[in-house]
Structures are given as C-alpha cells and as structure tokens.
A and B are shown apart, each in its own frame.
Chain A
C-alpha cells in the first residue's frame, strides 16, 4: 500500500543543507497498523508528509498504492487515498459547522451533493460523533475535534490514514477516544494506519513499530520485540512504557517475568500465576 525505496529528503542547500531522511526503504501492507516513534528531528513527520505527497523525495521513490508521488497527475488521487490528521485540532477546522467541515474534503474532490449528503452522516457515525452535525467545531473538546478531523478524511473514502501526533494536545479521555476510533477503523474496516506518536503506551497495539533516529529507520519489529530493547531505546532518548520498564527492573532483580511484557494486565498476570 505504501512503498518507499531509497528515499532521501534534504532541506536547504550548500552549508545549510539538512539531511532529514536518508535512504529509507519501507513497505506498509494493506490493513497494517504501523506506529512510528523517534526523537524530535528524527524525520518522523518528514516521512509522514511523503506519504500523501505534501513533500516529494529528493532522491528515491515513494509510491502510494502503486502511484509515484512525483507524478503530479497522481496528486489528487494520492491525497484521497491517504488522508492525514495533524497534531493541533484547531488548525484543521475550516468551517463553522461540523457537517460543513466534514463535507469540505469531498466537495473539493467534486463529489456530487447527493453523495456527500450520504457520506457525511456515515463518516460522523464511524467516529461516534453522530448528532453533532450542526454543532460549532470550536465548542467541541479536543478529542471530539480530532474525531471530526478523522471523519473529514473518511468522507473522502480513503484507504490509508496517517496520524501525526494526533493526541499530543489532548487530555487522557480525549486520547482514549481518538485511539479507540483509529483502532476500530483498522480492525473493522481494514483501514491501513500509520500512527506517529511520542506516547509509548499508544504503540503497544500496533502490528509493527518503526523507531526512527537521525533520518533513518533504526529499529523495526513487533512492539514486544522493540520494547524489550530498553537500553537501546534509552540511548535514542526514547522511553519505554512504564510497565515494560517495571518488568525489566523486576527481571534484573531476579523475578521471573517474561521479557516482552507491555501492558498492565500482562504484568499482573505474570506476577499472579
């Protein structure tokens, strides 16, 4: 679904040239849930912006569903197929009413009005925001705004959702709402999800985790395998979820618990056989 081959990206030129991504090779399958973590400046957002052609490779190729992002005739179709949700919900709201906001994307694609009228309520239902059609976006909570932003993407009937730190500005309840929505879309509709986050506990349910560092993919694997590398992650300036760290600490003090524990329930089960 997403394929990067030898992808490099640099900003500026001469002395000011910054290598943001270097030689990325990456494949994301249809229906996969991939989480991307890494310190600030490691290239996560730059990579994400290549996935819907907001940025183009300096070298190498990025293909979305077989479409080369450098071919400008593919642009509209790529942005329909791969929708993007950003960090700050307030910067993404364009209309004065929720339903107009959700309709904005499909209107720009030239979808007929009748069809939009069908899609908008369906999209709002998918994110559990049915009934809010005539509400003003600025009166919603952060979690609700992000779900409206996701609905706006769903109304374009995409196959990939890319989320660039969508929960960074939300309270714990808002974070849970957004994550539950995204996980449901992945599980029940087979939506391909690329989720960028600094919250390590949001990564544990992904199919695969990519750890980025200095413009490259430094580590890749199932969440269990990645979080077992406690020391390496710390060297990158990353954390592991507190539970994984606690399990690691207990193990190094001779308590027999597995080395791939990531959730509260797993640790409790391991300690209470």
Chain B
C-alpha cells in the first residue's frame, strides 16, 4: 500500500484575502513497511500533509495516490482508503464517547459493516496490541488514566485493521512511563504486524527511537528527507529551523568539535555509548 504525493499544494481559503499556502509542491513516496518521522516547526504544514494521506483534505493542486488509486478519482472509495490508512490525531482520548472501553473500540468496525461475531475478536486483539488488560473492557473509558485512555483511542483505530498508521504527537502530555508503554506497543505493530508507521512529533527523542526515515518540513515544503540518523546529524541546520536534535547527537557533535572523530549518526543512548567507548579504545582523542 504505497502512498504517493505528487506535487501536492494545499491552499486554505483560496481566492480570498486570507488565503494561506499550507503545502507548496510536496513530493513524497512512502513504501510498505516504512517507519517514517515528520518534524517541523508549528505551522510548517505537517498536520495539513497528514490529512491528505487518507483524503480528509483534498489537494488544491497535485495528486495523492494510495495503493494505486488517485484519491480525487470518482471511482476511489475513500471509505476503503480510510480503513487502510488509520489516522490518530493529537489527544485522541478527547474523542472517546462510549459507555465502555469495548464499545468505544468497536464503534469504527461496526460502522464499516464488520459482523458482530468478528467484532468481539477484533476488540480483544486491538486491546492486546496496545497492552490494555482484558478486564478493562467493561469499564468506562473515563475512569482510566490518561495513558490508558490514549491506548483505548489507538485501539479503536487498530480494530479497523489498518495497514498504515499515522500518529500525530502520540506521546504529548504523557508521563515517561505512559510514553514508554505506548511507543513499545506501536513499535510492535510495526515489527510484528508489518504496519507502516508515519509519526509526526515535536519530541526528537521519540523520533530517534521510532523511525528510520525522517522528513523535515518548513514553510509547506519538504526541506530534508533521509535516514533519521543522517538528518539528525545536520545539527546546525536543524537548530536554525527551530528544531532540536536528540541530546546524544548533540554530545557527538560537541565531541567532534573537540577533535574526536566520532560518528554523528547515532540515535540511541546505547549507540552513543558504544561509539564513545570504541573511540576511546582507538585512542583517537584529539586533545
């Protein structure tokens, strides 16, 4: 289910004095099984881009092609596309509304005509995938902790069995434990179930941990696109754009300036540790 954006431009309120160009000629191809991160300052077009991936917004110019179907074609079923491309917006727990956790998770598949025998199975599976204990199924979602509520909302999208999962700020406002739990389960969806991940985040540590490819947006355009490690290695350019880099990359950049020849393309604490240790062993300190 590759997703392709061909020269996508989106203008809000076109032909008015308030017209805003949110996307300006974006080209992007996302292959099956990728783990893609999207970062960029507020207002750079990230959320507008995400809403094009399952046809919530239509391009003013250009084409969005999902699994070979141009979303603008009359024959394309947006319903079918939205089953395959699940989008989880910021603070999805604000959209919970049912009396019980199970009913809330079942809402999506029920509406797409999944029969009731299968629904129970899907709800169970989705709860397991996000690590919600089965005994919570009959509880009110509003009695749960913030991290649990968010997992209910994610399970509601997973119950649709999407092949692509788009997450906008999945860990915002969660404490470190809630954040670790959610990321661990999202990671498993990717590695064990082959779900394509597209993660939009301001949290560079999350991006470093979860993604292999990284797109940087600014002013409605894609400014950088490469492996996550390579993009983060461009510390100065990212800082100029108001973005951060993971702390471990900043340590490596600092060591480089002092004459150590360490790699910049590290993503985790463990990788940084190993790189520094092997550098010390090689005796390559410049000082």
Contacts and interface: CB of A to CB of B under 8 A. Distances in A.
Interface string A221-262: 000000000000000011101110110011001010000000
A168 B250 contact: no
Contacts of A238: 175-177
A264 B254 contact: yes
A131 interface: no
Interface residues of chain B: helix, strand, loop or mixed (majority): helix
Contact of B273 (A87, A250, A272): A250
A170 interface: yes
B56 interface: no
Contacts of B277: 250, 253, 255
A40 B276 contact: no
B176 A171 contact: no
Interface string A11-54: 00000000000000000000000000011110000000000000
Interface size class of chain A, counting residues whose CB lies under 8 Å from the partner chain: 35 or more
B276 A141 contact: no
Interface residues of B, number: 40
B242 A242 contact: no
B172 A169 contact: yes
A242 B254 contact: no
A172 interface: yes
B13 interface: no
Given A246-B248, A264-B247, A272 B285 contact: yes
Interface in B194-238: 202, 204-205
Interface string A135-146: 000000111000
A171 B254 CA distance: 23
A35 B230 CA distance: 34
A41 B251 contact: no
Contact of A172 (B175, B242, B273): B242
A174 B276 contact: no
Interface in A165-184: 165, 168-175
Contacts of A172: 202, 204, 242-244
Contacts of A115: none
A75 to B, nearest CB: 29
A169 B91 CA distance: 10
B173 interface: yes
Interface in B19-64: 41-43
A241 B247 contact: yes
Nearest to B285: A272
A246 B273 contact: yes
B177 A237 contact: yes
A165 B246 CA distance: 21
B178 interface: yes
A95 to B, nearest CB: 21
A110 interface: no
B42 A41 contact: no
Given A40-B175, A171-B42, A174-B42, A242 B276 contact: no
A201 B175 CA distance: 14
B174 interface: yes
B260 A39 contact: no
B258 interface: yes
Contacts of A246: 247-248, 251, 269, 272-273, 276
B270 A249 contact: yes
A173 B175 contact: no
B120 interface: no
B255 interface: yes
A268 B252 CA distance: 8
A173 B251 contact: no
Contacts of A250: 273, 276-277
Interface in A87-123: 87
B287 interface: yes
B114 interface: no
Contacts of A175: 202
Interface in B239-276: 242-244, 246-248, 250-251, 254-255, 258-260, 269-270, 272-273, 276
Interface of A: 38-41, 87, 141-143, 165, 168-175, 198, 200-201, 237-239, 241-243, 245-246, 249-250, 253, 255, 264-265, 267-268, 271-273
6 contacts: A169-B173, A170-B42, A172-B243, A201-B247, A246-B272, A267-B251
Given A237-B176, A246-B269, 15 more contacts: A39-B178, A141-B42, A143-B42, A171-B41, A172-B243, A173-B41, A198-B179, A200-B176, A201-B247, A237-B175, A238-B176, A238-B177, A264-B254, A271-B276, A272-B287
